[in-house]
Structure 1
């Protein structure tokens, strides 16, 4: 049996890998870690399935979690169901109804409100997502609140949330990531500081798609599009939506042909599902088409 502290340290490493986007690392380590106390074993299983969901392995999670599972895992199953069927209107509506039923009642697990916040964020219901995130005392919940404030174009409030996180645990990778998101949104010298945060995380934990994309966004926020390009070229996953979107933006800003930009956008759309950037792009395309139609003679 592993000493209790070593077990806890291993779980911290699993969580860190999850938050920096090293999902294969989460799965490999979680599957090799055994003989844990019940509480740690339950938490390990939660992050194991979350890693599978992040990789798009929805069918695996749906098959693994049955009616005898804990409340947290049942909510995780709903999250997998939502993500796997987000193009089916009935499934989306049904899941939102179920989540709304459990949120006002007794909630003993922090993950319930975090999962709900993730779903509402995906639906674009930022007020409801924020309400859920604010119920959480976990750093992850506060980091979600930070993301929501940034989506609401309130980096000033996000910065206050980051300061509260720093008081809780300044060394946590979740806190550092939340600080980097906020600094990137603030732009200027703050965006440059955010780039250094990502650089330090990559040096410490190794590069992941998530960290490389984050650093590339910081470079773009500083107007350094040519510096962002080699960071994105390190990512070999041609099905990563965020990478493709960043590559499209960089291509447009570095003088690449319009065909290069359009090819990346088409790749993102062909992957299915929804993405905030694509939704915003399609909205503006529709506005342009509407305006252009007025001048057709």
Structure 2
């Protein structure tokens, strides 16, 4: 695809449903204000920070990061989609991020993650400055690792907690959001949908990638759970990425930050993450456009 816009960027904190905590939200969007190199935490990226959004009618995408992770590890995906006419909100899940991981391995986390996504969607359409330039009642979800769980849960999946999360594991009753029109799963974590019928209510296009050398969420069982649990398998496009690892879907780390002690900065020997992302990002954008 060809870049048509400059990538605007802003960060805000929105109220959670309980109002007891804030949801940090990184927003990438089309603008006609030229970009310049900006510092985002430990990273740098060409962006038009706090620029006025360009008038238009754009699809909304919500991104969910993995357990104990952060949204800016996918910053170049946000930049790419904004340049190509999408508005994407990348939220940081309270209690399951790199700074505060207090909800890991809890039922509360299984409930709050899809609720966070729904809160962000509601904010965009109800109170944000972007609501007038969004395609109404349509949203796509992208999730990496545990973010894949979040996307499937909000789209109608019925998760069952793992034994370490609940001694008496029963399926959770979560709200399905009918506004979700497509899902992209990147090395998804899906074992909470292992029970028969857990994904049977999902009937929307799904683009799913797994990494051949992924030791965290390997194809078996994670991708198989999706492929066997979705009734209409024609809705699934599946890609298996040769020689890739679990973190190969993330933006490339600056050389000065790469370290064997920092797994997200590492790939299997011989794997070129930048070359892969140069192919992946256009595939994601093409799928999202077809799913509108």
Both structures adopt the same fold (TM-score exceeding 0.5): no
Which structure shows the bigger proportion of residues in helix conformation? Answer: 1
Bigger Rg, which one: 1
Higher strand proportion (structure 1 or 2): 2
